[in-house]
Every structure is written in C-alpha cells, then in structure tokens.
Structure 1
Amino acid sequence: MSWHVAEEDLRAYARGELEPPLLWSADTHLAGCAECRSVLAAAWDGEALDEAWARLDAELDAPRPRPFERLLLRLGVAGHTARLLAATPVLRRSWLTAVTLVLAMSVLTARAGHSAIPFLALTPLLPLAGVALSYGPVADPTYEMTVVSPLHGFRLLMIRTVAVLAAALALTALAGLALPGFGLSAFAWLLPALALTATGLALTPRLGPVAAPAVAGGGWVVLLLLAEAARDGGDRVLAPFTAAGQGAAAAVAALAAGLLFVTRDRFDQSTGGAR
C-alpha cells in the first residue's frame, strides 16, 4: 500500500477515541494492511482488548428485542421500561385476539338485540381481567425475576397497568364506535371500567393478585343483577349507566386510586399472595 494509518491515529483507534471519517478510513485500511494491524496490536492495551471482547460477548448474549419492544424504543420509551412492557403476558397476540373476539360478539349481540346493556355490562370486566393477568405469580412468567429485582413492585404494577389499560380501552373504544345507533351511551362503560380496575388494584395488597380482581368483578356482577331486578319495564338503561351511576363510578375510582396510592409500599411485601 502507498500509505498507512498514522501511529497516533492507531493509538486513538485502540482507545476507541478515533472519530469519523478517520475511523471509517482506518477500518477500511486495516482490513487489507497487515503492517498497520501489527502496529495496532502492539498499541492495543491487553485490558482494553479484554473489555472489548466482554462488550462483544454481552452484545451477542443479549436477547434481541421483538417488534413491539423496538417500537417502544423508537417512541422514546426507556430500554428497561420497554422490556417490562414487552414481557407483559396479556399484551401478547393470544390475549389481544381473545379480547377482540369477545368484543366482536358483544357488539353483534347488542346490534341484534337493539340494546347496549350486554356490551356495557361485559366491557368493564376486560381491563380488570387484563390487569389481573399481568401481575403476580399465577400468570406472569417473569414474576420470580421481578421478586428479586430492585424494581419497586408498585412501579412495575403501574407500568403494566397503564399498558394493559391502553390496549384494552383502545379496543373497547373501537368496539363502541361500531354501535353508532346508541350514541354516547355506548361509552358508558368507561367510568365503571376505571372504577373496577382501581378497586381491584387497591384490594391487591390485602387479598392478592387473583382474589382482589375476582372480588371486584363479582361485586360488579351482583350490582348489575340488583340493577336489573330494580329496573322498571320502561327503563332501557341500567342504573350503573345513568348519570347518577356514572357519578358514583367516578367517585369509586377516585377513592380506590387514593387508597392505592396510600398502600403503594405494601406491594413489596408478601401478604395475601401478593408480592
């Protein structure tokens, strides 16, 4: 070759301090110049070489992010948060497909029966079930790792809850748009859904991640049965979906959110089967 990389540039290359475009030129030249490679080998510190190999091994051993995780990273989500969200069980294709099918069936039932009550009664339970399946030893395959990690249990719960709520509420909102004949009443599920989810979360430190959502969901079913029994023949809307019922749902959601905040530290304690 008619030229060689300057020795000081080779030293900078060995230290990882050589900047483009000199870095690109040195890379290309070193591929075909044995003399410069020998100079580089002499300049390369053994410790720096070991560190470089360690970084390469770590890069090769690291799991490759899946499409959903890569999307979150491109949106600016921190790497560790993106990994936690990608590992959330109910954000997988099987859960989302099941939710979509359930919503489609409830929409078809509502359109055929000219009543939104079945749709409104069912949809608040979907976010509650999603949150229940995203946290705890029963359904979370990464639960054992989270137990021994320094991550605050409440923070993990909130990260996954926000992700599950975003997915479930988006799908349910799209299903509500498929009921144009019912107007805004097709979205009367929103406040009950938030109230149920917040209640289930607030009860989790005492009852555990399985029993707490079950109690909240069972209470919702009992409330609907009582509302149906008390409904007059001319009423087309159950009490929980009236203006008064919506106000009560908002109050319950606010109260449960406050209780959840007060008891947030208990999510790092092993009580009632909860972490």
Structure 2
Amino acid sequence: MRDTKRDGAPWHADAEDLRAYARGELEAPRLWSVDTHLAACASCRQALAEAGEPLALARGWERLDAELDAPRPGLFEALLIRLGVADHIARLLGATPVLRASWLGAVVLVLATTVGAVYAVDSPMLFLALAPLLPLAGVALSYGPALDPTYEMTVVAPLHGFRLLMIRTVAVLVTSLGLNGLATLALPVYGLRALSWLLPGLALTATGLALTARLGPVLAPGLVGGGWIALLTVAATASHGTPAPFTAAGQGMAAAVAVVAAAALHRLRDRFDVSPAHSPFSEFSPFSDSARRSAS
C-alpha cells in the first residue's frame, strides 16, 4: 500500500481492510501494510476506531449473554471451588443426587432414630447392621439414570466413565462415613465395638460396585444388600453373643472381601467406558430401547 496516489492525493486504508483489522482477521501482507499506514495516518486511525466500536459493543453483548446464560454454582459447588476443587469436578459433585439436602437429611434422621433405638434396647447391633448399608445405598444412587438428572450428559461427556464413578463414589463415601462416624460418637459406651461397621461398609460398597459392571446399578446393590441382611440373620441365629461379622475374624474377612472386590472393580473398569448402548446402565436409561418399549 502506498500513502500517495500518482496525482499526489493521499491513499487511505480500505474500509473493509480496517474492519478486518479490527476483528483481528486481516492477514499478511495486507496486515503489515495497514499497520505501517496507521502509524502515519490520523484519518485512518479515526476510521479504525469507528469501525471497532460496533465490534466491541457486539462482543460486549456476547460476553454479557454468556454470563447471564451460565449456570450459577450452588452453595455446595461454590464451597468445593473455594476449597480448591477444580470447577468441572465441583460441577460433577454438585450434581450428585445423594449429596443434596433431601438425601443427607434422610440419612441423618435414620441414624438419629437408630442411635435412639440402640439406647432403648442397650445393644449396638441395630446400628451395626444398618450403618454398612448407607454407603452402599448412597453410591448406588449416585451413578445411573434412576435418580441422576445429569446421567445422559455424563454418559456422552468426554470423561473417563470409571473416573466419574470413582469421583462420585469417593464423595459419597466421605459423606456417608462421616455421618456414620458422627453417629458412632453418640455411642461412646460401646467403645471400639461401635466402629465395627466400617470394614463391612467398605466391603459392601466395593462388592456392589464390582457387580454393577455386570449386573447393573439396581440389581447389584440390591443383591449385596439382601445378602448382608441374610448373613446377619443367620449369624444372629447361630450366635448368642456378638454376631460373626462383628468379631475379629469377621472383620478380617470383611477387609479381605473389600480388597478382592476393589481388585475386581479395577479389572472391570473398562466396562464403565463403553458406549451408552452397551453400558451396564443402558437398560435403565430413559432413552434406551427397553424404556421406549415400556413407555409405548
């Protein structure tokens, strides 16, 4: 680009070039030419400012629209972010159904009622039988289409399915075990015996997750929970003292089951990453073929 015509009249940058320059879309060598010309031409600098104002205004409205449309983090999600949890992890945890007030309130009510019953009958067995089932139920409800409003989005999200499962599992376990631990503090007269729910709880949760890869998110925890109740029934009938699951041998067995189930879960982890049509949760999806047939 030259600054003067042959007849001596000044050259100016083309209006289209100035608009492209303002948008950041002008390419070399025209970009270099306009850059050089703008350094010496006040008239073109004024034209560039006028061309850039509508663009800046439009971009400002776009940013405002994006801010207004962006979902607002809830109290729990905002707290996680403040504690240093990554934004996308906090969003996943905030959408976990069992970490909401309704679930937590129900768990607190159940534990409080159970602790009251323990004091009434002067035996911790009711609490020890119930406490291991709470983390199992919480994890079962935290991943799958039954109660998760974000299930379909998480299935197609570019996130490792097993990683998502583990993120929510750890969150639910921390919450459930924390509430169980607080309830245990309300039973100080039973000492360490009041903590004998912990290893069975971990064993039930790990077993339920491992079986979920093959049986789905409803049948697997249902079978595990039913098996636990049946085991306690048999143990209580066969023993006049402490039921076997809460003895030293029973605790060792629960720890072994937890380790074996965790190893099996790790081995089956790829089953949580298959396509939605073949996932262990697909038959319960509201968009699955079986669901559509049932609805019709």
**1:254 aligns to 2:259 (yes or no):** yes
Letter in 1 for 2:228: W
Q: 1:50 Cα shift?
A: 4.2
Letter in 2 for 1:274: F
Residue 67 of structure 1 is aligned with which of 68, 75, 95?
A: 75
Letter in 2 for 1:57: D
Q: Secondary structure at the match of 1:112?
A: helix
Letter in 1 for 2:131: T
**1:42 aligns to 2:47 (yes or no):** no
Q: 1:118 Cα shift?
A: 0.5
1:45-91 CA-partner distances (Å, limit 9, x unpaired): 76555444333221110011111111000001000000000000011
| 2:166 alignment counterpart | 158
Q: Counterparts of 1:190-201 in structure 2 under 5 Å?
A: 190-201=198-209
The count of residues paired between Structure 1 and Structure 2 equals: 237
Identify if the C-alpha distance between structure 1 residues 150 and 178 changes in structure 2 by more than 3 Å, giving closer, same or farther: same
**1:168 aligns to 2:173 (yes or no):** no
Q: Distance in 2 between matches of 1:163 and 1:77?
A: 12
Q: Does structure 1 conserve the Cα–Cα contact (< 8 Å) formed by 2:271 and 2:280?
A: no
Which structure has the larger Rg? 2
**1:274 aligns to 2:249 (yes or no):** no
Letter in 2 for 1:144: E
Residue 134 of structure 2 is aligned with which of 102, 126, 149?
A: 126
Identify if the C-alpha distance between structure 1 residues 168 and 43 changes in structure 2 by more than 3 Å, giving closer, same or farther: same
Q: Which TM-score applies when normalising by structure 1?
A: 0.81
Q: Secondary structure at the match of 2:84?
A: coil
Q: Counterparts of 1:80-119 in structure 2 under 5 Å?
A: 80-119=88-127
Q: Does structure 2 conserve the Cα–Cα contact (< 8 Å) formed by 1:208 and 1:271?
A: no
Letter in 2 for 1:228: A
1:168-222 CA-partner distances (Å, limit 9, x unpaired): 1111100000001100111100000000000000001110011111011111111
Moved more, 45-54 or 244-253: 45-54
Q: Which TM-score applies when normalising by structure 2?
A: 0.75
Q: Secondary structure at the match of 1:133?
A: helix
Q: Which runs of 5+ in 2 are unaligned?
A: 1-21, 24-45, 283-296
Letter in 2 for 1:135: Y
Q: 1:146 Cα shift?
A: 1.1
Q: Does structure 1 conserve the Cα–Cα contact (< 8 Å) formed by 2:271 and 2:279?
A: no
Identify if the C-alpha distance between structure 1 residues 75 and 43 changes in structure 2 by more than 3 Å, giving closer, same or farther: farther
Q: Distance in 2 between matches of 1:152 and 1:168?
A: 24
Q: Secondary structure at the match of 1:240?
A: helix
Q: Secondary structure at the match of 1:107?
A: helix
Report the aligned-residue RMSD. 2.1
Q: Counterparts of 1:184-223 in structure 2 under 5 Å?
A: 184-223=192-231
Identify if the C-alpha distance between structure 1 residues 211 and 271 changes in structure 2 by more than 3 Å, giving closer, same or farther: farther
Q: Which runs of 5+ in 1 are unaligned?
A: 1-13, 16-37
Q: 1:137 Cα shift?
A: 1.0
